[in-house]
């Protein structure tokens, strides 16, 4: 090759490199840029901020655990689907190698499309709509239970609860919030409950209510009139509080309030607002294993960053957000590259056994879904959400029926 040819080739290579999507070819990327999309304002604001706490402590913990450097790029999609899409685009443009978020199913679907289109892996921290991992996406991963899993685990845990406390309630009144989550749970319960003959109770009345309702007098009146043994409840935070108060006002004291899987009763606001009244409510939800090693590490880091707060109130939100970033970091370590395509392949090979949330190892199936994430029976005891089942992870024994129970 003579000099002229060489110069031309070099120029050609240089031009190609400059125009290539990744600019200058790098040897080994030093940092993983994680785009964290959460709703920190708007009606989901308080949940997004809760999740953010899990994200904020991640870089420190992961540096200690895995020795990799993570840079967080935080974006607020303002509880708005349009904004979720543009924020995702923006993060990718600014160099995010992987996206994590968003808590809301609608936003998750929008971001998933962007991620798939741009070939950037998207690890969902929390979103229960089953359809998201049914679209045949190659770049979307979810480390959270689908609504179907949540119901299944929740119902099974209810059976465990009755067995552990030697109670046999015969009737339940089922109240549920009429939003995307409540509807999915209701379908699941309708499908699975009849088959579970080992559960001793029948649902005598179903009452659905508007998530935005500020007054639930009628609903509670109806529930009280059903004379059911206990209340099976799928709710959100604000309505859970209103319901509990209304129950007191109407002097309705069933055996207990049990959620087969919904937010609300284990959240800090519930305790702060209701005080003693929050006691004994039960939520069967994906939760962290209080005895796991990783949990202790995260708890320490959380306390350092939020001295006035307690991880137990953000267990679900912060825990899953942390694990989502952990997944990204673990893939980065194995892949030794921050190239999104390579990362996605590495994520598909994930097998994390040292984890924080209950359940089997973090392994993605062909649809990008982790199977085998566990749920815990979390009861409000001494003004703290406490794991009472499964026994292997429990830190206290379940109390059912609640002491306030008055036979009608």
Partner 1 sequence: MRRETVLLLGLLLVLLAFPAFAGPYALAVATLILYFAYTGQAWNILMGFAGHLSLGHALYVGVGAYAAGALFFHYGIGPWAGLWLAMLLCMLLGALIGFLAFRFSISGVYFALLTIAFAEFTRVGFDHLDWLGGPGGMFLKVAQRDAWDLASFRGPPLMYYYSILFLCAAAFALCFFLLRTKAGYYWQAIRENEDAARALGIDTFRWKMAAVVLSAAMTSVSGVFFAFYYNNLFPEQVFNIGRSIEIILGPVIGGVGTLFGPVLGAAVLTLLSEAITEALGAFGLEIPGVKQVFYGVVLLGVIVFLPHGIWPALARRLRLRSGA
Partner 2 sequence: MSFDLVANVVVAGVLTGLVYGLMALGLSVIFGVVRVVNFAHGEMMTIAMYAATVLFAALKLDPFLSMLPIAAAFFIFGYALQASLINPFITRPEHSQFMLLVAIAIILTNVMLMVFGPDARNVQVDYQLDSFEIGRILVDKARLYGAGAAVAAAAALFAFFKWTLTGKAIRACADNYLGARVVGLNVKRLYALTFGLGAACVAIAGCAMVLLVDVTPPLGPAFTLLAFVIVIVGGLGSMVGALLGGILIGVSEALAGLFIDPSAKSMFSFGLLILVLLFRPQGLLGKRT
Contact, 32 vs 329, CB < 8 A?
yes
- Interface positions, 207-266, toward partner 1 (CB under 8 A): 210
Nearer to partner 2 (CB atom), residue 220 or residue 326 = 220
Draw the binding track, 88-127, toward partner 1 (x: CB under 8 A; -: no contact): -xx-xx-----------xx--xx--xx-xxx---------
- Interface positions, 36-75, toward partner 2 (CB under 8 A): 41-43, 45-46, 49
Neighbours of 309 (CB within 10 A): 15
User: Is residue 341 near partner 1 by the rule CB under 8 A?
Assistant: no
Contact, 58 vs 48, CB < 8 A?
no
Q: Smallest distance, Å, CB 80 to partner 1?
A: 8
Draw the binding track, 172-211, toward partner 2 (x: CB under 8 A; -: no contact): ------x----------------------------xxxx-
H or E, element range at 204: strand 202-209
Question: Which one of the spans 178-186, 299-307, 373-381, 399-407 is the region binding partner 1 (CB under 8 A)?
Answer: 178-186
How many angstroms separate the CA atoms of 229 and 231, rounded?
7
Taking Cα atoms as reference points, which of 172, 99, 192 lies closest to residue 137? 99
Taking Cα atoms as reference points, which of 242, 243, 222, 158 lies closest to residue 192? 158
Question: With contacts defined by CB under 8 A, how many residues of the chain interact with partner 2?
Answer: 36
Q: Smallest distance, Å, CB 92 to partner 1?
A: 7
User: Is residue 144 near partner 2 by the rule CB under 8 A?
Assistant: no
Taking Cα atoms as reference points, which of 345, 323, 368, 378 lies closest to residue 146? 368
User: Is residue 406 near partner 2 by the rule CB under 8 A?
Assistant: no
User: Is residue 136 near partner 2 by the rule CB under 8 A?
Assistant: no
What DSSP string runs through 267-297? SHHHHHHHGGGGTT-EEEEE-B-TTSHHHHH
Nearer to partner 1 (CB atom), residue 186 or residue 386 = 186
Nearer to partner 1 (CB atom), residue 99 or residue 110 = 110
Residue 213 touches which of partner 1, partner 2, none (Cβ within 5-8 Å per kind):
partner 2
Single residue of 129, 155, 241, 247 touching partner 1 by CB under 8 A = 129
Nearer to partner 2 (CB atom), residue 41 or residue 113 = 41
Task: Say whether 375 sits in a helix, a strand or coil.
Answer: strand
User: Is residue 367 near partner 1 by the rule CB under 8 A?
Assistant: no
Beta bridge partner(s), residue 373: 359
Task: Say whether 205 sits in a helix, a strand or coil.
Answer: strand
- Interface positions, 324-343, toward partner 2 (CB under 8 A): none
Contact, 327 vs 373, CB < 8 A?
no
Tokens of 170: 């015969």
Nearer to partner 1 (CB atom), residue 96 or residue 376 = 96
Single residue of 69, 71, 179, 345 touching partner 1 by CB under 8 A = 179
Rounded alpha-carbon distances, angstroms, from residue 382 to 44, 67, 268, 279, 394? 28, 38, 13, 7, 15
Query: What count of Cα atoms within 13 Å lies in the side-chain half-sphere of residue 58?
Result: 33
Residue 238 touches which of partner 1, partner 2, none (Cβ within 5-8 Å per kind):
partner 2
Draw the binding track, 17-46, toward partner 1 (x: CB under 8 A; -: no contact): -----------------------xx---x-
**Bridge-based pairing state of the strands 98-101 and 122-124:** parallel
Interhelix angle 45-56/58-66, nearest 10 degrees: 30
How many angstroms separate the CA atoms of 172 and 216, rounded?
18
H or E, element range at 208: strand 202-209
How many angstroms separate the CA atoms of 87 and 77, rounded?
7
Question: Which one of the spans 24-32, 217-225, 368-376, 389-397 is the region binding partner 2 (CB under 8 A)?
Answer: 217-225
Draw the binding track, 231-270, toward partner 2 (x: CB under 8 A; -: no contact): ------xx--xx--x--xxxx----------------xx-
- In the complex, the residues that contact partner 2 under the rule CB under 8 A are 41-43, 45-46, 49, 178, 207-210, 212-219, 221-222, 225, 237-238, 241-242, 245, 248-251, 268-269, 273, 275, 277
- In the complex, the residues that contact partner 1 under the rule CB under 8 A are 40-41, 45, 49, 74, 76, 78, 81-82, 85-86, 89-90, 92-93, 105-106, 109-110, 113-114, 116-118, 129, 131-132, 135, 137, 178-180, 182-184, 187, 210
């Amino acid at each position: 090759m003579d000099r002229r040819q060489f110069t031309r080739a070099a120029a050609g290579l240089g031009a190609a490199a400059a125009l290539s999507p990744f600019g200058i070819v790098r040897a080994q990327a030093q940092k993983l840029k994680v785009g964290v999309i959460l709703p920190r304002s708007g009606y989901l604001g308080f949940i997004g901020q809760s999740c953010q706490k899990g994200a904020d402590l991640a870089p420190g913990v992961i540096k200690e655990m895995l020795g990799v450097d993570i840079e967080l790029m935080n974006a607020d999609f303002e509880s708005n689907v349009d904004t979720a899409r543009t924020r995702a685009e923006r993060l990718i443009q600014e160099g995010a190698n992987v996206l994590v978020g968003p808590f809301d199913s609608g936003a998750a679907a929008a971001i998933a499309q962007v991620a798939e289109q741009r070939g950037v892996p998207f690890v969902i921290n929390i979103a229960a709509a089953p359809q998201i991992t049914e679209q045949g996406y190659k770049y979307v991963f979810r480390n959270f239970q689908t609504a179907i899993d949540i119901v299944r685990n929740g119902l099974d845990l209810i059976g465990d609860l009755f067995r552990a406390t030697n109670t046999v309630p015969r009737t339940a009144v089922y109240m549920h919030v009429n939003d995307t989550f409540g509807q999915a749970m209701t379908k699941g319960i309708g499908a699975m409950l009849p088959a579970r003959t080992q559960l001793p109770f029948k649902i005598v009345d179903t009452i659905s209510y508007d998530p935005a309702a500020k007054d639930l007098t009628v609903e509670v009146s109806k529930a009280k009139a059903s004379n059911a043994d206990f209340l099976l409840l799928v709710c959100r935070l604000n309505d859970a509080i209103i319901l509990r108060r209304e129950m007191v006002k109407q002097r309705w004291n069933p055996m207990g309030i049990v959620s087969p899987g919904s937010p609300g009763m284990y959240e800090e606001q519930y305790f702060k607002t209701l005080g003693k009244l929050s006691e004994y409510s039960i939520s069967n939800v994906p939760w962290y294993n209080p005895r796991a090693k990783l949990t202790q590490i995260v708890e320490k880091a959380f306390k350092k960053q939020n001295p006035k707060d307690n991880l137990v109130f953000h267990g679900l939100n912060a825990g899953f957000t942390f694990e989502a970033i952990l997944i990204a970091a673990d893939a980065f370590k194995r892949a030794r590259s921050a190239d999104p395509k390579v990362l996605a392949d590495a994520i598909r090979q994930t097998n994390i056994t040292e984890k924080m949330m209950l359940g089997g190892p973090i392994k993605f199936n062909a649809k990008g879904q982790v199977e085998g994430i566990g749920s815990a029976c979390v009861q409000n005891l001494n003004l703290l959400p406490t794991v009472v089942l499964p026994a292997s992870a429990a830190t206290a024994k379940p109390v059912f029926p609640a002491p306030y129970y008055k036979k009608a």
